[in-house]
Amino acid sequence: MMVTLHVNGVANKLTLAPWTTLLDTLRIHLGLTGTKKGCDHGQCGACTVLVDGRRINSCLTLAVMKDGAQITTIEGLAKDGALHPIQRAFIDHDAFQCGYCTPGQICSAVGLIAEGRAHTADEVRELMSGNICRCGAYPNILAAIEQVISQKSAAPPRDGGP
Amino acid sequence: MNNFEFSRASDVADAVRQMAADPGAKFVAGGTNLIDLIKEGVARPSRLIDITRLPLGRLDETGDGGLRIGALVPNSDLAYHPQIEKRYPLLHSAILAGASPQLRNMATTGGNLLQRTRCFYFYDTTTPCNKREPGSGCSAIDGLNRMHAILGTSEHCIATHPSDMCVALAALDARVLATGRDGERSIAFADFHRLPGDTPQFDTNLKKDEIITAIELPPKGFATNYSYLKIRDRLSYAFALVAVAAALEIENGAIKEARLALGGVAHKPWRDRQAESQLHGAPAIRESFVRAADNVLRDARSFGHNDFKIELARRAIVRTLTQAANGTPQSQGDKRIR
Ligand SMILES: Cc1cc2nc3c(=O)[nH]c(=O)nc-3n(C[C@H](O)[C@H](O)[C@H](O)COP(=O)(O)OP(=O)(O)OC[C@H]3O[C@@H](n4cnc5c(N)ncnc54)[C@H](O)[C@@H]3O)c2cc1C
Ligand code: SF4
Ligand code: FES
Ligand code: FES
């Protein structure tokens, strides 16, 4: 099937078998290997990307069902060479060990902040529970996300970008 | 995944027509259950009919003051809809107790009703399972059955229905609207899911060619005295061992109306009218709730690993009714059970 996927602002026309997941499309067909395959069954969050601004698990998504959608992966978060604030905060807080879960954690955190429903540490923990970290970097992941949330509430909203 | 044809439905009639034309076809909505089952080889559809572009994504008031929820409304949008938060907080709470934010963004109202059991043997195609392969036997009855049912089981299947959302919909007396070749019908929630009996391959009474178009909620939302308590092996992102939805109407300390539905204990969300009517007129105090719990569990039967569930369910029922009566519903953020 012919589909067009807008990935990180670039339109890609692809011919795909209908059983191809969005995860495999990104990694294999588009060479965007930043998005990780952990469980491949919706149980870990490593494959989290943003589709039309909402965080989803790309391993349980058929690419053909997202024809025409805007997709943002970890590769698309930095703008003009500047890291996304969440990426910056993950580095500042050393919010990873092996790094395998990190692209999913970061995309999920970007989605979380856009949703605007996490205000307390408990709420961040609960609303980030779709991302498992095998290394147990949770305290630092939490600190990184809390930092960006507090900066957001202090500063006027930025335009553009997810 | 097995190879399959893929097509989009252009309207509801087209979806029904396409389904009728291919006995091996399946509708796909959020895909969070179906794609997983195809990957496991448990579902092997000849065709997927994509229904996500149908106009079933609205939430509207009904003539009688209730709400009609389109089958494609994502679980997260439903949970956070202002009308749901305000008028049906039990449903809000139950949805947020399930899955993860990513999955709730994908999962749809209709798909949630039709998600299949999480019985490990159902997923493991190398083992006998009457639900997956009718007549092959049930591996769980004498196997690992810690997650399995304690009410309404049969010698053919002891699986549970895994949904949280459905437990709240059962308590709220929702209705399911479905359209098939014979037109549209409205199904009471209690009649939608079924017990396993000797045909556990059928989870629901929906017909093969029918598509769910909407769920209807009656006006009464029990927004003052309600609670959804889910007990599981870890605090988030895990299926229920036992879940309880309680909704009460209390007048001068006496229970005017009681709704009680259980998840994780049966092949369908478990409602017990006898236990509910016993609560009517009773004082809203612990003793009444203990009696109700004993009543709900009067015929409970366990299978070894899940023996603990009977006592767990008893305590969870008492606790949830107490939370509801006190107007202190279980928080799905701060997981402390008070
Ligand atoms: C890791 C994980 C954890 C989870 N944890 C929980 C949990 O704790 N609690 C919980 O409640 N759920 C949980 N879920 C399940 C999730 O809620 C369901 O998978 C989801 O609600 C299914 O909706 P969907 O739209 O994705 O369905 P799909 O996967 O698209 O479809 C499911 C079934 O419904 C059929 N279907 C879909 N829409 C219609 C329609 N309108 N008419 C007729 N047939 C239709 C499909 O043909 C298919 O058979 C979890 C899922 C995963 C993967
Ligand atoms: S409990 Fe039901 S789903 Fe599980 S093995 Fe037995 S028949 Fe299959
Ligand atoms: S790889 Fe998608 S959730 Fe684990
Ligand atoms: S940093 Fe290793 S899995 Fe999270």
The 10s digit of each residue's pLDDT in B82-101 is 999 999 999 999 999 999 99
User: What is the distance in A from the centroid of ligand 2 to the CA of B233?
Assistant: 21
Cβ within 8 Å of A, B 62-81: 80
Write out the DSSP string of A90-114.
HHHTT--SS-SSHHHHHHHHHHHHH
> Domain B5-51 classified CATH 3.10.310.30?
no
Q: How far is CA B34 from CA A99, B40, B180, B224, in A?
A: 30, 10, 21, 36
ipTM for the complex? 0.96
Write out the DSSP string of B257-294.
EEEEEEESSSSS-EE-HHHHHHHTTSBSSHHHHHHHHH
Neighbours of B44 (CB within 10 A): 14
The domain boundary residue, chosen from A48, A76, A104: A76
Range of the domain at A37: 2-76
Could you tell me which residues are beta bridge partners of residue B231? B242
Q: Shortest Cα distance from B232 to chain A (angstroms)?
A: 14
Instruction: Name residues contacting ligand 1 (CB within 6 A).
Output: A 42-43; B 26-34, 36, 51, 71, 75, 98-99, 103, 106-108, 110-112, 114-115, 162-165, 211-212, 239
B31, B52, B333 member nearest A122 (Cβ): B333
My answer on whether A37 and A60 are in the same domain is yes
3-state DSSP assignment of residue B194: coil
CB of A38 sitting under 6 A from ligand 3: yes
Residue A52 lies in a domain: yes
Q: What is the pLDDT of residues B244-271, one digit of tens each?
A: 999 999 999 999 999 999 999 999 999 9
- Give the residue-averaged pLDDT of B322-328: 98
Which residue of chain A comes nearest to B36, CA vs CA? A41
Residue A58 lies in a domain: yes
Q: What is the pLDDT of residues B269-302, one digit of tens each?
A: 999 999 999 999 999 999 999 999 999 999 999 9
CA distance B122 to B48: 21
User: What is the distance in A from the centroid of ligand 2 to the CA of B193?
Assistant: 16
Domain with CATH 3.30.390.50 in chain B: 225-326
Apex A155 CA angle, A151 and A159, nearest 5: 105
Say if residues B317 and B272 touch (Cβ distance below 8 Å): no
Neighbours of B287 (CB within 10 A): 10
- Give the residue-averaged pLDDT of B308-312: 98
Overall residue count recorded for chain A in this entry: 162
Residue A161 lies in a domain: no
pLDDT over threshold 80, residue B230: yes
Which residue ranges of chain A lie beneath pLDDT 50? 159-162
Say if residues A133 and A141 touch (Cβ distance below 8 Å): yes
- Give the residue-averaged pLDDT of B30-56: 98
**Range with the poorest average pLDDT among A42-51, A52-61, B141-150, B329-338:** B329-338
- Give the residue-averaged pLDDT of B203-218: 97
Residue whose CA is at the smallest distance from ligand 1 atom 48: B34
Whether B105 has its CB under 8 Å from any CB of chain A: the answer is: yes
My answer on whether A56 and A91 are in the same domain is no
CATH of the domain at A14: 3.10.20.30
Residue A156 has a pLDDT of 53
Residue A158 lies in a domain: no
My answer on whether A56 and A109 are in the same domain is no
Residue A160 has a pLDDT of 43
CA A23, A25, A28, A32 torsion-angle sign: negative
Residue A152 has a pLDDT of 82
Q: Shortest Cα distance from A1 to chain B (angstroms)?
A: 9
CATH of the domain at A147: 1.10.150.120
Cβ within 8 Å of B, A 53-82: 54-57, 60-62, 64-65
Residue B325 has a pLDDT of 98
Residue A161 has a pLDDT of 45
Judged on CB neighbours under 10 Å (0-12, 13-18, 19+), A91 is exposed
The closest alpha carbon to B180, from B16, B3, B7, belongs to: B16
CA distance B311 to B197: 25
The domain boundary residue, chosen from A57, A76, A95: A76
CA distance B29 to B34: 9
Domain with CATH 3.30.43.10 in chain B: 5-51
The domain boundary residue, chosen from A33, A56, A76: A76
My answer on whether A64 and A127 are in the same domain is no
Judged on CB neighbours under 10 Å (0-12, 13-18, 19+), B281 is exposed
Could you tell me which residues are beta bridge partners of residue B185? B178
**Ligand number nearest to the C-alpha of B156:** 2
My answer on whether A45 and A106 are in the same domain is no
Share of chain B above pLDDT 70, in %: 100
Say if residues A151 and A85 touch (Cβ distance below 8 Å): yes
Helix (H) or strand (E) holding B47: strand B47-50
Overall residue count recorded for chain B in this entry: 338
Residue B334 has a pLDDT of 83
What is the radius of gyration, based on Cα positions, of chain B? 19
User: What is the distance in A from the centroid of ligand 3 to the CA of A68?
Assistant: 23
Q: Establish, for the pair of chains A and B, how many residue pairs have beta carbons separated by less than 8 Å.
A: 85
CB contact under 8 A, A108 and B102: yes
Which fold is adopted by the domain B225-326?
Answer: Enolase-like; domain 1 (3.30.390)
CB contact under 8 A, A111 and B52: no
Q: Provide the number of structural domains found in chain A.
A: 2
Whether A99 has its CB under 8 Å from any CB of chain B: the answer is: no
DSSP E strands in A26-74: the ranges are: 48-51, 54-57, 70-72
